[in-house]
Amino acid sequence: MFESLRAHGFQVECHSHAEAILRVDFPEVANQLQTILLGSTIPIEEIIGSGGGETKGTQRLRRALHEHGWRKHKFEVRRTIDGVARESISHEVDHIARFAAGLLSLEIEWNNKDPFFDRDLENYKRLHADGAISLGILITRGVSLQDEMRSMVLRFATEKNINGIADLEQIGLNPTIRQRKDYARRQHGETTFAQAWAASFVQDKFGAATTHWRKLEDRVRRGVGNPCPLLLIGLPASLVTFGEPQAVVERLIEEGEPSVD
């Protein structure tokens, strides 16, 4: 299961019998997710232009999920005692899909603060305990994507001849005073401006405290979300492309808008 994803560098983990549940009750889901994810790419220009926020590539992924029936949904859980309402809790999930055997829930955490993993996993735990979902899926940046982010940003800076603030402004970036000071602080000895900017950009936007595989893995290992069955998918560095023709980049960016509900 998910052999094609693994062969293309994706990280895939199943917890609490998730693989058995998918094989028996939701056999179509693995092929569906593989088709969607293997068709995904993120031009490096999107990562730079997004400033660390959700890329158009992530929005295209959401659109593809939506086209396959994965829709945003708000669960409303109400508890009563002798007919008197005592508690009402809502859980909004970005993507759910209904199948004959039950309902699956999916969240994409491209680049949030890592406590969002706690929120997602605890939501899954409660929804599973209440019988609302059969399994929860989380997609985030994999280890290779996290670890290679600086070298990819530096490659972009080198190919675009980013040698100073004026060059950043030429590509539509407007660094803050704090960021400019950080570039200057980092640029010493043989360190080039491009190297200083790449290191600062990645630390600012994709730092250790953001949502990526290691942060997710740490929480799951500690039992957060347990015993909800979980499918975890880490996006690889190979999704990021370089040298795309400008027309292709513009088309992909256009396809990423608007994001779907």
Question: What domains sit in the chain, N to C, each tagged with a CATH number?
Answer: 3-154+210-255 (3.40.91.20)
State the pLDDT at residue 254: 60
CB proximity list for 200: less than 8 A, separation 6 or greater? 179, 182, 183, 186
Predicted confidence at residue 260, as pLDDT, reads: 46
- Whether the Cβ atoms of residue 156 and residue 44 lie closer than 8 Å to each other: yes
Confidence of residue 261 (pLDDT cuts 50, 70, 90): very low
Mean pLDDT, the chain, integer: 90
Whether the pLDDT of residue 88 is over 80: the answer is: no
Alpha helices of the chain — where are they, by DSSP H? 3-7, 18-25, 27-38, 44-50, 56-67, 115-129, 143-147, 149-159, 165-170, 177-186, 193-205, 213-221, 246-255
pLDDT in tens, 242-255: 986 666 556 655 65
Q: Kindly state the percentage of the chain with pLDDT values over 70.
A: 92
pLDDT at 213: 97
Separation between Cα atoms, residue 252 and residue 261, nearest integer Å: 19
Note the pTM of the prediction, 2 decimals.
0.90
CB 41 within 8 A of CB 252: yes
Cβ neighbours of residue 131 closer than 8 Å, sequence gap 6 or more = none
Instruction: Write out pLDDT tens, residues 51-66.
Output: 656 677 888 899 999 9
Taking residues 100-114, report their average pLDDT.
95
What does the pLDDT look like over 119-158, one tens digit per residue? 999 999 999 999 999 999 999 999 999 999 999 999 999 9
- Judged by DSSP in three states, 30 sits in helix
pLDDT in tens, 189-245: 889 999 999 999 999 999 989 999 999 999 999 999 999 999 999 999 999 999 866
DSSP secondary structure of 116-152: HHHHHHHHHHHHHHTTS-SEEEEEEE-HHHHHTHHHH
- pLDDT score at 51: 62
Instruction: Provide mean pLDDT across the span 91-120.
Output: 94
For residue 170, name the pLDDT band (cuts at 50, 70, 90).
very high
Which pLDDT belongs to residue 251?
61
pLDDT of residue 259: 47
Average pLDDT over residues 72-77: 89
User: What per-residue confidence (pLDDT) applies to 91?
Assistant: 82
